[in-house]
Structure 1
Amino acid sequence: MLDFGVFMHESAFSCSKIRVSCTGYCERICFFQNLSSKERIDNTYYFNISYLSQNNLHFNNLKNMKKALLVIDVQNIYTHSESELYCTDHKQTVKKINGLIEAFQKKGYPIVYIKHIHKADGSDTGRMFDFAGPIEDFNFKEGSEEVEFDKDLYLVSNATIIFKNRYSSFVGTSLEKILKENNIDTVTICGFMTNFCCESTARDAHDRDYYVEFISDATGAPESETMNETKIREVVSELLSGGISKIFDYETYSLEF
């Protein structure tokens, strides 16, 4: 049984301290006070979070997981430079997503592509755009170029594609039916946006009793005034690792897959 004794995280990674007590297993304290700012961003975060999330005994002891890859919203709205939701790191993100698709395809695991789209009249938007300006200016309208898949996304033959109009890929879609029909117990998440549709889908999957794998650097998000894309990934992964999902970076996941 895990006992997370201390988790202290100070801004800008000035000091990051974790004590993880696993009864009968280990006790570990990690300090990263002497690293440069860049080293903290590059190293401290993933070290700490991967240590926390991958020491889940129930998850580690589960054998023969039945996995499905959820490829969420890899659409032009995030990859075209003129878009207000443009993600500057999208090329590397899509490259990693394609790597995951190829790996799952080789193993014969299900791959589900998810696309966010709304009726042109906005009648199905609900509360989606309450914080995004005038409703007539909403994004993801059906028939627009911005809702199409990015040209570099690898689409497998006979791809399973579902359409959603909420952050979670489960709400109002056939996703859970597809997972149950394939006896899936574990979903692996990649795509856009890290802090909205990917995070919401991870939380929803957990609450529906699926195991969740979140490939942090295979997700993307547009920068805000206060956080760049790397920081957004870090914050979301830190929150999810506490009780929702195992967190991986692409390289580590590829080695273990």
Structure 2
Amino acid sequence: MPGGLDSSNLALIVIDMQNAFASMAQPILSELNDTIRSARRAGIPVIFTQHGHSDPENEEKTSVLVHWWGASESIRKGSHDWKLLSGLDVASNEVVLDEKTTYDSFYGTRLKSLLDKQNVDTVIISGVLTQFCCETTARSAFVQNYDVIFLSNGTGPPCPSTLEIISFGFGKVITCAEMRTRLEKIKKDSLK
């Protein structure tokens, strides 16, 4: 059974903190970086996702997401927009899933196998965009039997309706500061 807020088998998922979303990512960057560092100190894996398309013009015919937004509005892999924000605290040994092509960070990626390999039962959702990739990934995690913790000020932009929906039926919504307090407890408990 998943562990929820009391679990020590957590993973922090940092979704799409890329240049394309800089205006929505910058306001949460400091809180998120502090939470990333707390997760590391607690021995909690941190996994980053990076959304992009190899050939948006051709994918417009096969990808409903590219078709919806159009090839010109889709993020091209390797472009400046595709790169992670320069101020994001990514350690060299942390996983960056650069194969993400949909709102769902699980779909078509190695995310589930990475989580299962590390016996993760609870995912902490952070990043951008709250109402698209973060919410979709939280819902997907829930239906795959992971407990979900959703960071209210570690996802951007602010979207009260998403927070209400997640807290009603998919996971616990807490602040980054509350998460860091829990991570500090995990760190202390592991030293006993």
Which TM-score tier does this pair reach, normalised by the shorter chain? 0.7 to 0.9
Question: In structure 1, how many angstroms separate the alpha carbons of the residues matched to 2:42 and 2:178?
Answer: 18
Larger Rg: 1
Query: Alpha carbons of 1:179 and 1:136: their partners in 2 closer, same or farther (altered >3 Å)?
Result: closer
The residue number in structure 2 matching 1:75 is 18
User: Does residue 249 of the first structure (1) align with residue 149 of the second (2)?
Assistant: no
Please state which structure has a larger fraction of its residues in helix.
2
Question: In structure 2, how many angstroms separate the alpha carbons of the residues matched to 1:136 and 1:91?
Answer: 25
Question: In structure 2, how many angstroms separate the alpha carbons of the residues matched to 1:120 and 1:244?
Answer: 34
In the alignment, residue 135 of structure 2 is paired with which amino acid? Answer: E
SS in 1 for 2:37: helix
TM-aligned CA deviation for residue 101 of structure 1:
0.8
TM-score, with structure 2 as normaliser: 0.86
The residue number in structure 2 matching 1:214 is 150
> Of the candidates 133, 139, 147, which is equivalent to residue 203 of structure 1?
139
Question: In structure 2, how many angstroms separate the alpha carbons of the residues matched to 1:241 and 1:188?
Answer: 13
What is the count of residue pairs matched by the alignment?
178
The residue number in structure 1 matching 2:129 is 193
In the alignment, residue 139 of structure 1 is paired with which amino acid? Answer: S
The residue number in structure 2 matching 1:183 is 119
1:2-30 CA distance string (max 9 Å, x none): xxxxxxxxxxxxxxxxxxxxxxxxxxxxx
Specify every segment of 5 or more residues in structure 1 that has no aligned partner in the other structure, as ranges: 1-57, 80-85, 222-229
Percent sequence identity over matched residues? 29
SS in 2 for 1:141: coil
In the alignment, residue 65 of structure 2 is paired with which amino acid? Answer: M
Give the alignment of 1:10-49 within 5 angstroms. none
The residue number in structure 2 matching 1:237 is 163
1:186-229 CA distance string (max 9 Å, x none): 000100100000000000000000000000111113xxxxxxxx
In the alignment, residue 68 of structure 1 is paired with which amino acid? Answer: A
2:35, 2:179 within 8 Å by CA — same for their partners in 1? no
User: Does residue 172 of the first structure (1) align with residue 108 of the second (2)?
Assistant: yes
TM-aligned CA deviation for residue 103 of structure 1:
0.6
TM-aligned CA deviation for residue 124 of structure 1:
4.1
1:124, 1:165 within 8 Å by CA — same for their partners in 2? no
Question: In structure 2, how many angstroms separate the alpha carbons of the residues matched to 1:145 and 1:70?
Answer: 22
